[in-house]
Amino acid sequence: VIEGKSTRLSNISSTSLSTVEIDLPYDKEKNERRPFCFISFQNEQSAQEVLRIQKHVIGDVTVDVKRAK
């Protein structure tokens, strides 16, 4: 299941091949994935391209894309 989510998450950067890492945080107390992830890009331009479109569809879920603080 998590592998499937990782594959779908990689679609968020399908227009740029510079995705470096996708981190899916895990809640050990609830024994489930957190409802967010972190995507690292190789360069700022790729990140800006993804951030430009505020909503992305991953599988059947629409997600908001935000810069990590």
- Which is it for the CA torsion 5, 54, 57, 27, positive or negative? positive
What does the pLDDT look like over 16-26, one tens digit per residue? 447 778 888 99
What does the pLDDT look like over 30-66, one tens digit per residue? 999 998 888 888 888 888 888 888 888 877 888 888 8
For the chain, the distance separating the N- and C-terminal CA atoms, rounded to the nearest angstrom, is: 28
| pTM score of the predicted model | 0.65
